[in-house]
Chain A
Amino acid sequence: MSQAVRDHRGRPIVVVTGIGIVTSLGQGKEDNWRNLLAGVSGIRRITRFPTEGLRTQIAGIVDWNSDERYCAPRHSINLAQQSATEAIEQASIGSRGSFPGPLFVANSPAETNWDQRMTVYGDEAGKGLRGYERLVKNAAAGDYLRYFRLFQFASIADTLADEFGTRGQPISLTTACASGATSVQLGAEAIRRGETDAALCIGTDGEICEEMVVRFNLLSALSTQNDDPQGASKPFSKGRDGFVMAEGSATLVLESYEAARARGAKILGVVRSAGERADTFHRTRSKPDGSAIIDCITRAMADAGMTPGDIDYINAHGTSTPENDKMEYLALSAALGDELANTPISSNKSMIGHTLSAAGAIEAAISLLTIQAGVMPPTINCNEQDPNIPMDVVPNESRVQSVNTVMSNSFGFGGQNVCLIFSAEPA
């Protein structure tokens, strides 16, 4: 009996018992899944702020859940609250406001934005002073306790820890575009160490503002196909010119298999492994030989005790930048060899856009839904696939096919790479 709840290395098996998702495709698993299978795009023209003069004017913004004036960390908290509430309800674990395990939150750094900066700037006390001298003077004279709380770097995780009553200090983490996957990895590691029977893993990102758009434009990372928002994110296709920024959140409730079975929880899937390898090459690009991401993928398979033939389907990082998609293909060819030809791969980002810090968690959640449903979401906008990326990208139409094991890739700026493998509940 004890054999069945430990993996091939004798570690506690980690399972998923709750999933929550919110993206530009909808609130909750059902809406998201329906739209993913239908090949719907959540990308639209930005209306949150004026886009005049910006090279990129499209994004997958989630605005329908908020009446309040936009404030980046507050919005990330709102999105996370939605996905976490859904996941915890599904897992039916703990009691309201008391989750029996630690919290790992992947989020963008909380930052004051221009709206708040100018609010403070306008106060009386510092009139006549310039720049930050004026802001400091006004901060000291004013009543900005709310800003103090919101813009501490760990504010998002801390607010969520209060709301969901998680145990111990929450960890607020970033590995750039791999962050969401890192949150799942940290949760799984804590359970494997036997520190806890459960962990709450959240990725959330609601930080699209004018400065973020300008910053990513400066790195030439974003699509500028403003005339066709829904067609702009086209991973693995010719004419792809960058990613489309988006917002969203996903939450996974992780548990040890033993604890989940003991309480009779429905098992949604197994976290088989996580592989990781940092790159040394460049701040925004992978090593030209792909060795770091190859290693990351190979390590994930080794950690799971799997070979390339065991992988049924790949949930791609697939950002739709010229560089990423080419490198991801190169790395997968090396890591999976001939098996890649038999392994379908698709990019959720073709529909959702790139939710940055949340992407790894959202794609982990969708990977698990794929296993449950036995349907692969498509890569949409695949009208002319890049001939240099000859993979089965599940073009344009979802595909019914039984999927037992999914690999989910996340590669971040700064060279932080994570590969997760999920599978169906062990027989």
Chain B
Amino acid sequence: MPRLGDRMNTKQSEVWITGIGLVSSLGEGLDDHWSQLATGNTPAASVDTEDQAPYPVHPIIDFDIAAQIPKRSDQRQMGKWQHLGTYAAGLALDDAGISHNPDLLAATNMIVAAGGGERDLEVDADIMEKIAGVEDFGPILNEALNSELRPTLFLAQLSNLMAGNISIVHGVTDSSRTFMGEESAGVTALETAVAQIRHGQGDLFLVGGAYIAERADMTMLMEFGHTLWQGEHESVWNRESTDGGMIMGSAGAFLILESRQHAESRGVKPYAKVDGIVSDRCTRQPGAARKNADKLFGQLSNEIPVGPLPVLSGCCGVQPQLSEEYEFLKSLNEHGIDAAVRGVTTIFGNTLEAQLPVSFALASLAISRGKFLDPFDESGFEKEFTDIPEHVLLSTWGHWRGECLALIGKPDVPLRGGE
């Protein structure tokens, strides 16, 4: 299917969310998540305090890799991170009715928000043992790398190979881009896809990412900055009065974003629509992130109604960003907004590249089912919201850079999953 040329000087396309693939520490698929997040009670997070002790993590559930990646030869080419992303992308493609449709797959653009793939940590440990204390370890290192590394290991490590595997396994073949780097990779991936759809640079996008928290190499990286929470799990708002710290979480989240016109022409109903997504960065001097958030709010405020408003915060937990975002969310009442905040990271952990995609999925779920999620903790900060949600505001600040606000809204047509 030829790509449509950019449609200049015409009305911008409405951006619909028409497919969702979500796998996390809680479960798999929308029903599974809904049944745990909208029961009328505070949901229970799944926490593992052993795997990366003393750092708690939200571990990925067991998922049946073969259900989305049937060929063993494909499975063997990936590590757990690529399995998870390829799996979640497959769920989204299935959900939107794109899978196995060659015309649609050939017109699906992909933007993956990626971190690094897995290293073989055991191989690394062996090599470290071998070369520790040797002054010029070069030749021994070469010998060890030659004998220990395997070709598949390298491919499993490459960031762009999650997208590569999604193309190979699911047949997505229009454009393919991989954006690298933590929460902001997820933010800019979604922001770019939305801009491209609005300007006619594509009608159909697969966007998302995945993160595996049970990885000691990532634990090391985060501890270089002393950013992790230790000990028992605490809700993110209960960490506000402390020195803070992140609890990392595993998740794979992919969305199908589609122009309204394209979705209508193939008879597909939306979960929700994207009313706005804006982001910026700062050098994180004290107060700078808050200032950015205020500015971003100003850019979206025309779209945001006053009164009660559901808000999903991806608050990372690192100080002082935690307190700055907390204060920002409290300040929404100065604009006449009665925010019902849910700290997504309390239940899911910080899922890094997947953070905003996870929030997009949860907001779409709430809009399409006509009900917001129950409070995620008992800190008292998270208010009840009993109306039918028309909008959900999303806040994602990266743990070291990047601030984003997005607004998900209710389209003026019958919705998916509303029955």
Give min CB distance, A200 to chain B, whole Å.
15
Give min CB distance, A104 to chain B, whole Å.
10
Are B146 and A54 closer than 8 Å at their CB atoms?
yes
Give min CB distance, A170 to chain B, whole Å.
7
Q: Pick the contact of B181 from A52, A133, A172, A292 — CB < 8 Å?
A: A172
A114 proximity list for chain B (CB < 8 A): 127, 131, 137, 141
Are B168 and A109 closer than 8 Å at their CB atoms?
no
C-alpha spacing A199/B222, complex, angstroms: 32
Please encode chain A, from 178 to 192, with 1 for each CB lying within 8 Å of some chain B CB and 0 for all others: 000010001001101
Are A175 and B178 closer than 8 Å at their CB atoms?
yes
Are B279 and A169 closer than 8 Å at their CB atoms?
yes
Are B201 and A193 closer than 8 Å at their CB atoms?
yes
| A173/B168 contact (C-beta < 8 A), A54-B146, A278-B174 known | no
B132 proximity list for chain A (CB < 8 A): 118, 121-122
Are B142 and A169 closer than 8 Å at their CB atoms?
no
B380 interface residue per 8 A CB criterion: no
B185 interface residue per 8 A CB criterion: yes
| A416/B9 contact (C-beta < 8 A), A173-B177, A214-B146, A278-B167 known | no
Interface locus among A149-157, A249-257, A319-327: A149-157
A303 proximity list for chain B (CB < 8 A): 5
Please encode chain B, from 172 to 197, with 1 for each CB lying within 8 Å of some chain A CB and 0 for all others: 11111111111011011000100110
A148 proximity list for chain B (CB < 8 A): 221-222, 224-225, 227, 400
A112 interface residue per 8 A CB criterion: yes
| A276/B225 contact (C-beta < 8 A), A154-B180, A174-B159, A415-B164 known | no
A147 proximity list for chain B (CB < 8 A): 221, 224
| A109/B180 contact (C-beta < 8 A), A132-B220, A136-B216, A170-B281 known | yes
Across the two chains, which residue of chain A brings its CB closest to B184?
Answer: A169
B45 interface residue per 8 A CB criterion: no
A11 proximity list for chain B (CB < 8 A): 5-6, 8
Give min CB distance, A71 to chain B, whole Å.
14
A427 proximity list for chain B (CB < 8 A): none
A34 interface residue per 8 A CB criterion: no
B307 interface residue per 8 A CB criterion: no
The interface on chain B, measured as residues whose beta carbon lies within 8 A of the other chain's beta carbons, has a size of 83
Q: Pick the contact of B128 from A121, A176, A412, A413 — CB < 8 Å?
A: A121
B265 interface residue per 8 A CB criterion: no
| A276/B176 contact (C-beta < 8 A), A121-B132, A136-B223, A148-B225 known | yes
C-alpha spacing A112/B216, complex, angstroms: 13
B262 interface residue per 8 A CB criterion: no
Give min CB distance, A208 to chain B, whole Å.
14
Give min CB distance, B223 to chain A, whole Å.
4
Across the two chains, which residue of chain B brings its CB closest to A49?
Answer: B138
Interface locus among B32-40, B147-155, B268-276, B338-346: B147-155
A130 proximity list for chain B (CB < 8 A): 125, 129
C-alpha spacing A53/B143, complex, angstroms: 6
Interface residues of A in 96-119 (CB under 8 A from B): 107, 109, 111-112, 114, 117-118
Interface locus among A62-70, A138-146, A230-238: A138-146
Q: Pick the contact of B401 from A9, A53, A144, A158 — CB < 8 Å?
A: A158
Q: Interface on A for B, CB 8 Å cutoff?
A: 6, 9-11, 49-54, 107, 109, 111-112, 114, 117-118, 120-122, 130-136, 139-140, 144-145, 147-149, 151-155, 157-158, 161-162, 168-176, 182, 186, 189-190, 192-195, 210-211, 214-216, 218-219, 276-284, 292, 299, 302-303, 412-416
Between-chain CB contacts (< 8 Å), 15 pairs: A50-B136, A50-B139, A52-B138, A109-B158, A148-B225, A149-B400, A153-B181, A154-B181, A168-B279, A169-B401, A169-B402, A194-B8, A283-B77, A413-B158, A416-B160
- Can you add 4 more A-B contacts, CB < 8 Å, to A117-B124, A193-B195? A136-B220, A149-B225, A210-B142, A280-B173
Closest 9 CB pairs of A and B: A154-B181, A131-B125, A414-B164, A50-B138, A148-B225, A132-B216, A148-B224, A153-B181, A278-B176
